[in-house]
Amino acid sequence: MGLSNMNIIEIDKLSHRFSNGFLGLDSIDLSVKKGEFVVIAGRNGSGKTTLLRHLNALLLPTSGTVRIGGVSVQDDPARARRIVGMVFQDSDSQIVCETVREDVAFGPENLCLERDEIEKRISEALNVTGLSGLADAGPHILSGGEKRRLAIAGVLAMMPEVLVFDEPFSNLDYPGTRDVLRQITGLHGAGRTIIVSTHDLEKIISHAGRLLIMEEGKIARDGIPEKIISGVETFGVREPYFSRMGLERASWPG
Amino acid sequence: MAGLTAFSYRKGFSIVHSLDARFKLLFLVIIGASGLKASPAGLLLLFGLVLSGLIHAGIRLRDLFKELRFFFCFLLFVVAIRAFSADGTGLIEVYGISLSAGGLKEGLLVCLRLLLIALSGLLFVATTRMLEIKAAIEWILKPFPFVSGSRISTMTGLMMRFIPVILEQAKETSDAQKARCIENRRNPLYRMIKFAIPLLGRTFDNAGRIAIAMEARCYSDIRTGYKLSSKKNDWMVLFIVISVCTAIVAYL
């Protein structure tokens, strides 16, 4: 099997029941290949975030297994977190330091890297996300789009192979959305595996190679976007304009 | 957008900025302790020292005093309490309560000491990056067993980071309640409860989200820290501060 065809994520019969008895995930089977661009859509409470949080052991399975690069996340959660970087919906909660530079350094410092290596990674991550000019700025002066890019830079500095974005466009204006979308597509172009959860397909679907629809903790549809997009409204997800009008898939930023 | 508080770092290239954070913490202790022992003339000299540090660090005194206006109100309150409550020769009498000269002098002295500590603290925070403060705290707590210096320094950093966010949320909560005419309610306890419950709820929710985000980025107590290093300048300034403070306490 070639390297590009390797499954970086393998999920078998994954179920998760919360402490209040609610079944968040119900026997999910899923595999994601290296370099894939996957969009997970579904209405609020369908299990998207719960599924994503199993990928880096923030939640552990009630039953079933999640393997990242062939190793169970339960056996080595720290390894899973190094391989799968997660950008959360609320950037304000993800930015934990006083300046942009310090926040990007937070992850590499947790990995106990040497200071020279940390500095190298900071400047690379800031360059990729276009935040070099704001390195010494405080997070409170950043715009919504810049904060989201800082959250991405913080994760990139840990050099993950997989990047998971949970509702990356929420609370962003049009320029902010375009900024973040450019980052995501650029990272995919650079060979990273991308997983994006959203309930708004319009902005992202033209870049994705695979679409998963979640409903009540299960994967209800899984396939290439063109094949399954026309039925998404049944699952509480708005069908993109181009699909309703029978047009070609068009990139949202233009 | 949350604004800067008076106690936040201001970038600069002064000598005070370049000093080791551990030394700066030590200066804070020495100046504070000398202020407690110093006479009024000695206190004024210490003020001169701290104010020249603030000016040298590029902090505009006008902006500084503007930001500290509420602190000055507090100091005025302290002077008034001391002046009207202490025994001694009465200067004037207001509604049967006499203002004593000794009390006024004592009150002014207490205020000057408090102000000296506040200004020294501000000089420290305004010229020291948070990661240096965290590293200094970790270094100081290293000899103490059963105390996680790393955890305490991280908590200090998080507190400084999230004070503006919490203040912003408090303002949002207050505005949302004003928009629904909370001011028509006369009972202050009712208003306080209606303000505190959503604010605390949001703050705890945020704390949960922050903890998850930190976990996702592999946070643990064992991590690469910021390396502090003392230089010749630090020792020279330490010598000057100790000499000046000793002279002030001994001779003034």
Which residues does chain A have within 8 Å of residue B225's beta carbon, measured at their own beta carbons? Answer: 109
Please give the pLDDT value at position A33. 95
Higher pLDDT, B28 or B105: B28
The rounded distance, in Å, linking the Cα atoms of B137 and A23 is 44
- pLDDT for B97 equals 72
Q: Are A138 and B4 in contact (CB under 8 A)?
A: yes
**Span A105-113, mean pLDDT?**
93
pLDDT over 70 percentage in chain B: 95
Of A98, A112, A155, which is closest to B157 when you measure between CB atoms? A98
Residues of B in contact with A81 (CB under 8 A): 215-218
Average pLDDT (A43-60) is 94
Q: Does A82 touch chain B (CB under 8 A)?
A: yes
Question: Is the CB of residue A126 less than 8 Å from the CB of residue A162?
Answer: no
pLDDT at A246 over 60: yes
Q: What is the pLDDT of residue A124?
A: 94
A114 CB near a chain B CB, below 8 Å? yes
* Between residues B226 and A32, the one the model is more confident about: A32
End-to-end CA distance of chain B: 48
Alpha helices in chain A (DSSP H): 48-55, 77-83, 91-94, 100-110, 115-129, 144-156, 174-189, 225-228, 241-244
Neighbours of B63 (CB within 10 A): 10
Q: How confident is the model at residue B3 (pLDDT cuts 50, 70, 90)?
A: very low
pLDDT at A106: 92
CA–CA distance, B63 with B146 (Å, rounded to integer): 42
ipTM of the predicted structure? 0.83
On chain B, the residues whose CB falls within 8 A of the CB of A90 are 209
- The number of beta carbons lying within 10 Å of the beta carbon of residue A137 is 16
Structure tokens at A160: 């993950």
Which range marks the domain in which residue A125 is found? 34-58+78-244
Q: In whole angstroms, what is the distance from residue B171 CA to residue A226 CA?
A: 46
Tell me if A39 is assigned to some domain.
yes
Q: Which among A82, A115, A140 has CB closest to B218?
A: A82
Most confident of A145-149, A240-244, A246-250: A145-149
Q: To which H or E segment does residue A85 belong?
A: strand A84-87
The three-state secondary structure class of A211 is strand
Q: Residue A2: pLDDT above 50?
A: no
- Best CA proximity match to A24, nearest among A51, A52, A2: A51
A 10 A CB-CB count for B129 gives 19
CA nearest to B130 within chain A: A98
Determine contact, residues B11/A136, Cβ cutoff 8 Å: yes
pLDDT above 90 (res A81): yes
The per-residue pLDDT for A254 is: 45
B242 and A CB contact within 8 Å: no
Cβ contact, residue pair B219, A139, below 8 Å = no
A119 touches chain B (CB under 8 A): no
In a domain, A253, yes or no: no
Tally the domains of chain A. 1
CB contact (8 A) between residue A88 and residue B222:
no
Residue with tokens 């959660």: A77
Instruction: Say what the pLDDT of residue B165 is.
Output: 82
SS3 A67: strand
* pLDDT score of B2: 42
Is A7 a member of any domain?
Answer: no
Average pLDDT, chain A: 91
pLDDT for the residue numbered B156 = 84
CB contact under 8 A, B131 and A98: yes
What is the nearest CA distance from A171 to chain B, expressed in angstroms? 15
> Which span out of A91-100, B178-187, B240-249 was modeled with the highest average pLDDT?
B240-249
Residues of B in contact with A150 (CB under 8 A): none
Q: What average pLDDT does range A130-145 have in this prediction?
A: 89
Residue A17 lies in a domain: no
> Confidence band (pLDDT; 50, 70, 90) for A173?
confident
How would residue B5 be classed by pLDDT, with cut points 50, 70 and 90? low
At B200-240, the pLDDT tens digits run 999 999 899 999 999 999 998 888 888 888 899 999 999 99
Residue A179: CATH number of its domain = 3.40.50.300
Structure tokens at B93: 């009498």
Do the domain assignments include residue A236? yes
Contact B213 A110 (CB under 8 A): no
Beta-strand pair A162-166/A7-17: unpaired
Band (A4; pLDDT cuts 50, 70, 90)? low
Q: Does any domain span residue A102?
A: yes
Using CA coordinates, name the residue in chain B closest to A114: B224
Beta bridge partner(s), residue A222: A212
Question: Is pLDDT above 70 for B70?
Answer: yes
Concatenating the DSSP letter of every residue in chain B gives -PPPPSSS-----SHHHHS-HHHHHHHHHHHHHHHHH--HHHHHHHHHHHHHHHHHTT--HHHHHHHTHHHHHHHHHHHHHHHHHS-S-EEEEETTEEEEHHHHHHHHHHHHHHHHHHHHHHHHHHHS-HHHHHHHHHHHHTTSTT--HHHHHHHHHHHHHHHHHHHHHHHHHHHHHHHTTGGG---HHHHHHHHHHHHHHHHHHHHHHHHHHHHHTT--S--PPPPP---HHHHHHHHHHHHHHHHHHHH-
Q: How many CB pairs under 8 A join A and B?
A: 89
Q: Tokens at residue A94, please?
A: 């993800």
A182 to chain B, any CB pair closer than 8 A? The answer is no
The DSSP bridge partners found for residue A169 are none
B8-26: pLDDT as tens digits: 778 888 999 999 999 999 9
Residue B1: per-residue pLDDT:
42
How many alpha carbons fall within 13 Å on the CB side of residue A220? 21
Please identify which residue in the block is written with the tokens 């206006």: B69
| Nearest CB partner across the interface for A140, out of B1, B216, B227 | B1
Q: List the single range of A193-207, A213-227, B159-173 with lowest mean pLDDT.
A: B159-173
pLDDT of residue A57: 92
Q: Tell me, rounded to whole angstroms, the distance of Cα A118 from its chain centroid.
A: 23
For chain A, state the CA radius of gyration: 18
> Is the confidence at residue B6, as pLDDT, over 70?
no
Helices (H), A36-90: 48-55, 77-83
Which two structure tokens, joined as six digits, stand for B32?
Answer: 């504070």
Split at pLDDT 50, 70, 90, the class of B7 is low
**CB interface of B with A, residues 124-183, below 8 Å:** 129-131, 157-158, 160-161, 164-165
| Contact criterion met (CB < 8 Å) for A93 and B11 | no
